[in-house]
Structure 1
């Protein structure tokens, strides 16, 4: 496909954080840009590169995968190169090892002389590094515009004396949001997340500071959303960031089939084929989130009480060094045998969601999972674990998802509330709005022409920005 807005072919480096919820959206954007004849250097660590989905053969000459070995830290286990490999308490050490990639990345940028680098929130140092080498910078955000808008202006994110000084300040929309919204944390979520606003003793830098510095030090911001979906939030970001904010579309998954994993799909499909159309609950919490043992118990008993067939992808550990191994309630699998499946290994999520027997998705609200559900018109039941709580509030506000009721103080929930929520969204007349709303927004999220327009607009902006700056003698 020919690129629009001139013949100039760009060389773009992409440098995502070491989490597959970040790596895969970066890869989707990389593929869309490479399809238009531009060169992408996709940079990550060796093990993460080896775990990427197979690339289409036609992109081989335009999308090069660059391996930068992750520096060794004594606190970090061998082969731990992504958040999915380690328990929560070791993620700060993963960030510290990632920070040590600064010099290897500098050497690669010097030798490859790209036009642009797209970087994530964690490498807050990538902006100044690239600028010093004459390379233009894009902070590419994989979170929704509403989530980023809630976190606020960069100076406040980086400040040692922020406006919001206690968890209670996070349970209401912030003062810089000029329109009415319900996007904010609940009390128990605020208590869990508040530490991210203060210093991180293990990595040395808070997530809030990283994101603020990443914004402050880039030339432009690109974000995984579309202006038809979050227009007021995108405008807010432009106002508080004081620089261009370019939506790049929702980046629906275009993963190629992996022949080695077909055996798994064969037995999964065989089971799904035996279920009635639209009756199966698909349950999964992504590569990042991990419920507690008590939460797993209530989810399991809720699935049992719902009476619905279910397919549950349950990650019992975050990597082999996670000592907190999740277990199902005694007798659960025997009591639900034939009606439900608990899969503790990899499962093909996109294919499962596409199957006609699946009628709903119990999810942690990670945005890649949300987009995949919308791709396949599956209504959403929401049970958040991490910062995805803001996604859930946005989905609730737009009547695109129903959150399982929880105790506001400690976040606990009951098996009864799980069962009732599943039946509401998938079966009952009262939940019809959720089933219909997902179908309404599908075209906006997965329309190829809309997605293509966003990528063309982004590329045109990158070319014009570069040539304008050069013409002005600013470089």
Structure 2
């Protein structure tokens, strides 16, 4: 940091949304800030905090966890504290319960008086309250800038769009060339999930109001990845938009009790020959998607390691693999239905390609380790990220019907073969190695972090 920087140590509270695709990036940012000597108060529910990776010993004096209990709601199962505990149509009740944390969160702010609170898109009510207490606010987007840039100004998010079909073409506020857009079937799926009368506040309103009520916006991104979209965000929001870096993935030193068995299986396969399949903790394929995917893997004849979430909480319907699939692929493929040490597995030389949903954490991890990506996005945000990666020729997407989302086992098998072994797909293998220089560069990450902390410190008028 430069000579004019303020060197005051900050106290930063963090309040992520109750989803591990949000909790983990928030925790990674907390660890980076703590490594610079700043004090972090990390607020979530008991079960979520207990499931987070352990903090490295040198950082434990700087990070304090505060556990808040969710209120009991009629439609929310007693043990449900994150999105992975619920089918997608029940997540709205988790958001309603989350809104009831307003009072205990205000008590924490009143008691601790942090300099800043960094919070998520769901917490749309927090900005004005924090301002009353003289606490600065930052919205941290775990999504890249292209997603929010596509959605427009906070006012547009809050008060609606002219037409649903506006989402299927380039928005008028995007003034540069871009092919980024979701598919029609992803938009239909999102509309269905948001149309419930029970959910008191839509996701679009939450996001717009959160951005509007924040002092600054922090984005999981960097200018080397999406410069036009970051600049567009600044124009749309009329406030500071600061890249936090891509938040490099780190190995969990606790490992996994089954890792040695997994490693033994991976060791048996040739370098670059195994497909790793995972769709994160947020996303579960439908029965149709699961069947087509499984049959495509079988048809590909490639070795595979599949982390499969077949049920999200006790109320969710179980999706099932095709009859006899695991027997027919025995020895060639492994299906893991529990937690898997993803970083360790993807780091292994035998893993040649990742088949993923385009969630940002998986994209970062794959490119950080130089692995080419085959994309099967299932939701709107994943579709936007996937279309950007395809536009930039960074990754290849499984071909699907744009309207109904249908795809064939052949399209899965052909996509994997193309990216992993064919001459035509060599560009994706080379691009993945090239991306290591950006996604795995700690100097880029450190520069983003220093600039972010500088903004947060300078806003306090450098009071020692």
Please tell me whether residue 171 in structure 1 is matched to residue 168 in structure 2.
Answer: yes
Q: Distance in 2 between matches of 1:277 and 1:382?
A: 21
Query: Could you give the per-residue CA deviations for residues 152-208 of structure 1, whole angstroms, max 9, x where no partner exists?
Result: 10111000xx33422x22111100000010111122122222356x66522300000
- Corresponding residue for residue 264 of structure 1: 258
Q: Distance in 2 between matches of 1:56 and 1:290?
A: 31
- Corresponding residue for residue 284 of structure 2: 290
- Corresponding residue for residue 396 of structure 2: 402
- Corresponding residue for residue 274 of structure 2: 280
Asked if the contact 1:53–1:255 (Cα under 8 Å) also holds between the matched residues in 2, the reply is no
Please tell me whether residue 363 in structure 1 is matched to residue 356 in structure 2.
Answer: yes
Which runs of no fewer than 5 residues in structure 1 stay unpaired? Answer: none
- Corresponding residue for residue 203 of structure 1: 199
Please tell me whether residue 77 in structure 1 is matched to residue 77 in structure 2.
Answer: yes
Alignment of 1:213-232 (within 5 A): 213-232=209-228
Alignment of 1:19-418 (within 5 A): 19-159=19-159, 162-166=160-164, 168-195=165-192, 200-258=196-254, 261=256, 263-322=257-316, 324-386=317-379, 387-418=381-412
Q: Distance in 2 between matches of 1:332 and 1:283?
A: 16
Q: Distance in 2 between matches of 1:4 and 1:272?
A: 51
Asked if the contact 1:56–1:256 (Cα under 8 Å) also holds between the matched residues in 2, the reply is no
Query: 1:378 Cα deviation (Å)?
Result: 0.9
Q: In angstroms, what is the RMSD of aligned CA positions?
A: 1.7
Mean CA deviation greater in 442-451 or 429-438: 442-451
Asked if the contact 2:250–2:343 (Cα under 8 Å) also holds between the matched residues in 1, the reply is no
Query: Could you give the per-residue CA deviations for residues 260-302 of structure 1, whole angstroms, max 9, x where no partner exists?
Result: x2x2211111110101110000011000111111111111110
Query: 1:441 Cα deviation (Å)?
Result: 1.6
Q: Distance in 2 between matches of 1:417 and 1:92?
A: 34
- Corresponding residue for residue 11 of structure 1: 11
Q: Distance in 2 between matches of 1:448 and 1:169?
A: 39
Asked if the contact 1:2–1:36 (Cα under 8 Å) also holds between the matched residues in 2, the reply is no
Asked if the contact 1:158–1:209 (Cα under 8 Å) also holds between the matched residues in 2, the reply is yes
Asked if the contact 1:173–1:182 (Cα under 8 Å) also holds between the matched residues in 2, the reply is yes
Query: Could you give the per-residue CA deviations for residues 324-365 of structure 1, whole angstroms, max 9, x where no partner exists?
Result: 101111111111111111111111111110000000000000
Asked if the contact 2:368–2:435 (Cα under 8 Å) also holds between the matched residues in 1, the reply is no
Asked if the contact 2:251–2:344 (Cα under 8 Å) also holds between the matched residues in 1, the reply is no
- CA distance 1:403–1:429, change in 2 (3 Å): same
Query: Could you give the per-residue CA deviations for residues 84-130 of structure 1, whole angstroms, max 9, x where no partner exists?
Result: 01111110000000000000000001000100000100010111111
Q: Distance in 1 between matches of 2:16 and 2:51?
A: 14
Which runs of no fewer than 5 residues in structure 2 stay unpaired? Answer: none
Query: Could you give the per-residue CA deviations for residues 10-47 of structure 1, whole angstroms, max 9, x where no partner exists?
Result: 00001100000001001100000000101000111110
Query: 1:74 Cα deviation (Å)?
Result: 1.3
TM-score, with normalisation over the residues of structure 1? 0.95
Asked if the contact 2:7–2:457 (Cα under 8 Å) also holds between the matched residues in 1, the reply is no
TM-score, with normalisation over the residues of structure 2? 0.97
Q: Distance in 1 between matches of 2:3 and 2:210?
A: 29
Query: Could you give the per-residue CA deviations for residues 407-435 of structure 1, whole angstroms, max 9, x where no partner exists?
Result: 12200110000000000010101011111
Query: 1:228 Cα deviation (Å)?
Result: 1.6
- Secondary structure at the aligned position of 2:266 is classed as helix
- Corresponding residue for residue 461 of structure 1: 455
- Secondary structure at the aligned position of 1:111 is classed as helix
Query: 1:7 Cα deviation (Å)?
Result: 2.9
Q: Distance in 2 between matches of 1:200 and 1:467?
A: 45
- Secondary structure at the aligned position of 2:459 is classed as helix
- CA distance 1:192–1:158, change in 2 (3 Å): same
Mean CA deviation greater in 29-38 or 444-453: 444-453
Query: 1:2 Cα deviation (Å)?
Result: 13
Higher relative contact order (CA 8 A, sep 6+): 2
Q: Distance in 2 between matches of 1:154 and 1:463?
A: 25
Query: Could you give the per-residue CA deviations for residues 59-95 of structure 1, whole angstroms, max 9, x where no partner exists?
Result: 1110111111111111111110000011111100000
Asked if the contact 1:350–1:372 (Cα under 8 Å) also holds between the matched residues in 2, the reply is yes
